[in-house]
Amino acid sequence: MKRVLYFGASSSKSSINQQLAEYTAKQLKGIEIKPLRLIDYEMPIYSIDREELEGIHPLALDFKKEISLCDALVISFAEHNGTYSAAYKNVYDWISRIEKLAYQNKPLLLLATSPGKRGGSSVLEQALNFFKRVHSSPVLHFSLPSFYENYSAEKGISEAFSLEYSAVIQEFQTIINEKKETDSSISF
């Protein structure tokens, strides 16, 4: 069975991006889903000096192992001051030292949401531009503005965005279904 890893790129215990990532992963049919929470991977701020002195942090190795065991990833970005959260950037900095292609060229569905009308579009645009340059597998995306108005646990995504959202989910599902089984290039 194919496996999809999902997480909200935030360290908040009540992250709306974690909620959106979870909801999205659950829309995928016939797929095993695995949640991660960045709060469980808090590490010292990455620096080359720390890496040379102490090596790769064990939590980074754990996070990277989870990536190696999945076929695709759903990441929902929190926007902090127009960019990535410090928690996400730090985890990414650590795991990219294990392997430059941190997400091993697995298909990505990048999401963002916020309470505001722009729906984290600045951070999503940055992530999309970055991963389209360094990632050879498909990178899909969706932004949900005004989270509290356009999402509920009972009804899901509001009608105003349901067609666009459903199209992205269907395309991602097709990509996952057509992908060959995971073969990790990293040994742990």
Q: Where do the domains of the chain lie, and which CATH numbers do they carry?
A: 3-178 (3.40.50.360)
Q: Determine the Cα–Cα distance for residues 52 and 25; give it in Å rounded to an integer.
A: 37
- Which of 97, 38, 89 lies closest to 66, judged by CA? 38
CB 120 within 8 A of CB 143: yes
Give pLDDT, residue 147: 98
- Cβ of 155: how many Cβ atoms within 10 Å? 9
Give the pTM: 0.93
How far out from the chain centre does Cα 183 lie? Answer: 20
Helices 58-68, 86-98: axis angle to 10 degrees equals 80
Give pLDDT, residue 9: 97
Residues of the chain scoring pLDDT < 50: 182-188
Give pLDDT, residue 181: 60
Q: Determine the Cα–Cα distance for residues 69 and 67; give it in Å rounded to an integer.
A: 5
State pLDDT tens for residues 88-118: 999 999 999 999 899 999 999 999 999 999 9
